[in-house]
Amino acid sequence: MTILEARDVHLSFGRTPALRGADLRLAEGEILAVMGPSGSGKSTLLHCLAGILVPDSGEVHFEGQRIDRLGETGRSALRRDRFGFVFQFGQLVPELSAEENVALPLLLSGVRRSKATAEARVWLDRLGLDGLAGRTSGELSGGQAQRVALARGLVARPRVLFADEPTGALDSLTGEQVMDLLVGSAREAGTAVVLVTHEPRVAAYADREVVVRDGRVLALTAEPVA
């Protein structure tokens, strides 16, 4: 069953078109790699799917709802409650500990601090970060920080996790460990993943891949049967 869909999405930055009729469907629980050369529009597509950017034209549907028609407040709530994010450079809040970073999405959703902290601990343990809960991002290695970011992305049990070059700043072995955890955790939680990457080794963790070329999406492998 389709959970997220882009239909004929167009978006330009000034006079430069980034997306020129992008179509994409993500099935429930599916892990989809979005590949393509630099500047092809893959990150822009992710931002439109995640409600960060609003397309100039076209439609974005999440669980049957047109999210491109939502205002900033509605899209913000969606991002907070239904989506999770992992970016290339962890982007942890530097003043907060690992545990506080992971608990943040739950706190923002109104979960009590004690419950949010307990849940953050569960995720830190699950991702092999027990013992590092009190450290700030400056006291973590790149791989550890990215695992904290992954825990933060999954702690609120999102329906879709958006990962934009999640291993781009890591060496090969650490990147593999992060991808193993990302895929394993997402599968366990039933979370669908949109994985933007230009690395075939990372994309190979996905169920299938699409290629973004000149602002359009090229699906080379069959979509899962609905």
* Beta strand segments in the chain, E: 2-13, 16-27, 31-35, 57-62, 65-66, 83-86, 160-164, 192-196, 208-213, 216-219
Q: Considering only residues 16-45, where is the footprint of another protein by CB under 8 A?
A: 37
SS (H, E, C) 88-127: CCCCCCCCCEHHHHHHHHHHHCCCCHHHHHHHHHHHHHHC
119 or 209: whose CB is closer to another protein? 209
Residue selected from 83, 85, 162, 205 as contacting another protein according to rule CB under 8 A: 205
Question: Judged by CB under 8 A, does residue 201 bind another protein?
Answer: yes
Question: Judged by CB under 8 A, does residue 204 bind another protein?
Answer: yes
Residue selected from 125, 139, 180, 188 as contacting another protein according to rule CB under 8 A: 180
Question: Judged by CB under 8 A, does residue 127 bind another protein?
Answer: no
220 or 226: whose CB is closer to another protein? 220
Sheet holding 2-13, edge to edge: 16-27, 2-13, 57-62, 65-66
- Footprint of another protein (CB under 8 A): 37, 176, 180, 200-201, 203-207, 209, 211, 218, 220-221
